[in-house]
Amino acid sequence: GIGMEYVYSDRVKNLGGNAIREIFKLLQDPEVISFAGGFPTKTTLPTELIADITNKLMTSDKAQDILQYGETEGYRPLRLASIDYVKRYGIENIDIDNTLIISGGQQGIDLTFKSFVNKGDVVLVEDPTYLASLHILKTYEGVPVGVKSGDNGLDIKDLEDKIIKYNPKVLYVVPTFSNPTGRTYSVENRKAIAELTAKYNVMVLEDDPYSELRFSGERVPSIKSFDKVGNVTYITSFSKTLAPGLRTGIAIGAKEVIRKMTIGKQATDVHTCSLSQAIIDYFLRNNSMDERLEELKAVYLEKKTAMLNAIKKYMPAEFRYTNPDGGLFIYGEFDESLGINTLEVFPELVKKYKVAYVSGYSFYAGENKFNTLRLNYSNASLEQIDDGICKMGKFFKELLAAKQ
């Protein structure tokens, strides 16, 4: 036939799509109840507030500056406001040159790997980890290696062994309400991670989009707050606290590292959308984030509780699952001996019962686990949560019965 033969770069030629992004295509059917993505509850997105702030900004004397090209490092007022904002994570003693406004946490991961990862370089990750970090790493031809973890965080012995064995460039972690497990590392674990990585000259990327969504338990300081040598880059995002469509987050790091990430960002998107940055800056200065968080958390806690109740009621007794203190996800598993492959059966569940989760298989750097799945509770309504888990329960009970 005629047509172009596309000869892709080595970097991308073997890349599959991000599993979750691909799932979204399956979920176009409006009847499907999705526990798959990590979308905030739609009704919590602050439309009136954003309309009001935008109107104020666009009728102010700063309007044209906001619509002009801006600095790559970010909108200065927001960078200054972020110095104050990150005190809530225990991050002190920084100035504006330690800050970079990023187009979502996702870009912070991208710019970090862009800055540090050569082809073949090892990046250590918790196993399982946020799957987009694996996807981004692949685009830089880095090699993810999983570190064992438990309820209190990373297995420090395994971390040290793997640092010695692989000489990794970066350790990537989501230490608070991790995606996908919902787990939170203890204070001691964070200190140990900061000390060990400093000792061996390993960069840490601390990805923290969820810690503000805490319903119960005590706040834990960031790993960054224990950073004595400048090896930890901390990123957070306004996606889960304000609105993901604004595509705005904050990176805090050593000045040299922030400078390198800035150079990378110049090539990527010049700067984060100035209107989004100005809206968030206005919000932080004139509204109460804490008040908004209280409202959000009430909604999410109610949904999490509804999902846990539905799981108890409808899922087979063999299903084990977490009860996170915050974040957006419940992680569940069937014992491997039961032979349930959550990836393989997924299309059937969507077709037959119109319910979706994310199979855990895609979250692993090491050996994939096909017996796990992640459930999001923020996207569906309370009725859908009950209905969807009921259908999922029926589906898995049928599967288990067929195996006996």
| List of residues contacting ligand PMP (CB under 6 A) | 38, 104-106, 130, 174, 179, 207, 209, 237, 239, 244, 249
Q: In the complex with ligand PMP, which residue's Cβ is closer, 32 or 250?
A: 250
Q: In the complex with ligand PMP, which residue's Cβ is closer, 304 or 334?
A: 304
Q: In the complex with ligand PMP, which residue's Cβ is closer, 38 or 74?
A: 38
Tokens found for residue 295:
């409202």
Write the burial class of residue 51 (CB in 10 Å: 0-12 exposed, 13-18 middle, 19+ buried): exposed
Q: How far is the CB of 104 from ligand PMP (least distance, A)?
A: 3
User: What 3-state class would DSSP assign to 294?
Assistant: helix
Tokens found for residue 403:
């195996």
Are the C-beta atoms of residues 45 and 303 closer than 8 Å to each other?
Answer: no
Ramachandran angles phi, psi of 173, nearest 5°: -140, 150
Q: How far is the CB of 115 from ligand PMP (least distance, A)?
A: 17
Secondary structure letter of residue 357 according to DSSP: -
Q: In the complex with ligand PMP, which residue's Cβ is closer, 53 or 328?
A: 328
CA proximity to 116, closest of 254, 229, 208, 14: 254
Q: In the complex with ligand PMP, which residue's Cβ is closer, 177 or 282?
A: 177
Q: In the complex with ligand PMP, which residue's Cβ is closer, 380 or 399?
A: 380
Q: How far is the CB of 373 from ligand PMP (least distance, A)?
A: 16
Q: In the complex with ligand PMP, which residue's Cβ is closer, 314 or 374?
A: 374
Are the C-beta atoms of residues 127 and 364 closer than 8 Å to each other?
Answer: yes
Residue with nearest beta carbon to ligand PMP: 104
Locus of tokens 């995002």: 237
Chain centroid to Cα 164, Å, comes to 28
Q: How far is the CB of 199 from ligand PMP (least distance, A)?
A: 26
Q: How far is the CB of 177 from ligand PMP (least distance, A)?
A: 9
Q: How far is the CB of 379 from ligand PMP (least distance, A)?
A: 12
Query: What is the full DSSP assignment across 199-231?
Result: HTT-EEEEE-SSTT-B-SS-----SGGG-SSS-
Are the C-beta atoms of residues 203 and 116 closer than 8 Å to each other?
Answer: yes
Residues contacting residue 202 through CB under 8 Å, at least 6 positions apart? 124, 163, 168, 169, 170, 171, 196, 231
Chain centroid to Cα 289, Å, comes to 20
Q: In the complex with ligand PMP, which residue's Cβ is closer, 101 or 174?
A: 174
Q: How far is the CB of 110 from ligand PMP (least distance, A)?
A: 9
d(CA 351, CA 299): 29
Q: In the complex with ligand PMP, which residue's Cβ is closer, 105 or 388?
A: 105
Q: How far is the CB of 292 from ligand PMP (least distance, A)?
A: 17
| C-alpha distances out from residue 63 to 56, 85, 101, 285, 327, Å | 9, 24, 20, 17, 35
CA proximity to 284, closest of 207, 212, 214, 234: 212
Q: How far is the CB of 276 from ligand PMP (least distance, A)?
A: 12
